[in-house]
Structure 1
């Protein structure tokens, strides 16, 4: 196998970018396990009281991930995120004004392997969200599982991540005075199994819970499409019906998380590894779909809003695709 090594002479800034992206991938893949191991290990050392004190705090604070979380502007504004942004680079594109006195649901597409664009745009301040949409605060919904892991839960909450259970979303959307944005990767973990360069398959058809929430609280839906999201990682071939895909879907059903076998480049070479490719990501925030409140929405109302959302998402994709080198004959595939 031929290995394409990185040049020895690389600007220091690019090396920093790679280092920051490396720690981000590490955080996604193994930081949770390391935090859990640390918590248990401390119990059998002279520092056992640290885990006991943390467990006490954890019990007292257990509802915070479902009550708006505990976002830290300091963490979200750390300079290291500028290196993360510039590695790809990642851009946030605004297409319409949003009223800061209202609450919103952002439907993010596609999920990609590690929701790279969503993290950079909505969990850090480095792509200018606060400047483009003053008065709005983003909260990205993440599987409840991750908020049960000691230490790790506090780290992800500091970036604005909150639990994806229904009570969490309802808490955000019912707040008086507006200003809250619930960011939902609509396709969820299963969609990650279709994430590969050139793929435009979205799992949306049977996902209508976000439409019901929008109707119950009368909040606008905002379609968001991230061009380039699927380009930053390759994935082992896993067509539907294959043994690998059936195994992945079985594990996803058991654990709630998907396990895409992704790969890209390494730190010192470009041929293999888990570091994403340097591919541009442009996240387009579409126009809001205004929703009239219906505390007990009927199935007809939910289906009508869902169909309208799919149409607006398709329009957003078609309007911008040629700017980001998507062939004219490529269209979104909804499953």
Structure 2
């Protein structure tokens, strides 16, 4: 993945990339890869506050984005025990199961939607109100993702597909 410009989601990498321009973050990471569900959309956001901390420290706005269909390109990533090992070793280990039960993506249309930027005021991590600001901004980010999903799911053809934020 490094060949195409991907970097580990570390604080130092975020801060370096923010100075160079826009940064896209897949918050769910390895844990979300194993959360594929045929009946509902599952997003890993609970407890994921690192991106909010970096946004506050750097004073950059957050733009909520949702990719409809991306969770269905592969119908499975592997058995649950691989999820635990992958998280522990910080490397995605799994078996992609897609079209014809091969590691080939299924032909699913992907629909990207984005919301209005969430304004962020720069706050130093040493500020006594930093953790409270992190919690408040995280709630706003989660609500923005929920709102995006609910507003656009019918356009994508999922009027009754629920969203589960875990």
Match of 1:169 in 2: 14
Residue 277 of structure 1, CA deviation: 1.1
Match of 1:282 in 2: 111
If the length of structure 1 is used for normalisation, what is the TM-score? Answer: 0.45
Residue 259 of structure 1, CA deviation: 2.8
Conserved 8 A contact 2:63-2:118: yes
Match of 2:120 in 1: 291
Q: Which of 84, 92, 97 does residue 263 from structure 1 map onto?
A: 97
Q: Which has the larger radius of gyration?
A: 1
Residue 198 of structure 1, CA deviation: 4.1
Q: Whose RCO is larger (CA < 8 A, sep 6+)?
A: 2
Q: Which of 193, 207, 210 does residue 51 from structure 2 map onto?
A: 210
Question: In structure 2, what is the Cα distance between the partners aligned to 1:219 and 1:167?
Answer: 15
Once superposed, what is the RMSD of the aligned Cα atoms? 2.0
Larger fraction in strand: 1
If the length of structure 2 is used for normalisation, what is the TM-score? Answer: 0.87
Question: In structure 1, what is the Cα distance between the partners aligned to 2:62 and 2:156?
Answer: 24
Aligned residue-pair number? 163
Conserved 8 A contact 1:197-1:232: no
SS at match of 1:258: coil
Conserved 8 A contact 1:263-1:274: yes
Unaligned runs of 5+ in 2: none
Residue 196 of structure 1, CA deviation: 4.2
Conserved 8 A contact 1:170-1:213: yes
Q: Which of 182, 190, 200 does residue 31 from structure 2 map onto?
A: 190
Report the CA distance shift for 1:316/1:224 in structure 2 as closer, same or farther (over 3 A). Answer: same
Match of 2:22 in 1: 181
Residue 263 of structure 1, CA deviation: 1.3
Report the CA distance shift for 1:254/1:314 in structure 2 as closer, same or farther (over 3 A). Answer: closer
SS at match of 1:194: coil
> 1:1-335 to 2 correspondence within 5 Å?
153=2, 156=3, 159-173=4-18, 175=19, 180-235=21-76, 244-245=79-80, 247-265=81-99, 271-296=100-125, 298-328=130-160, 330-335=161-166
Report the CA distance shift for 1:258/1:196 in structure 2 as closer, same or farther (over 3 A). Answer: farther
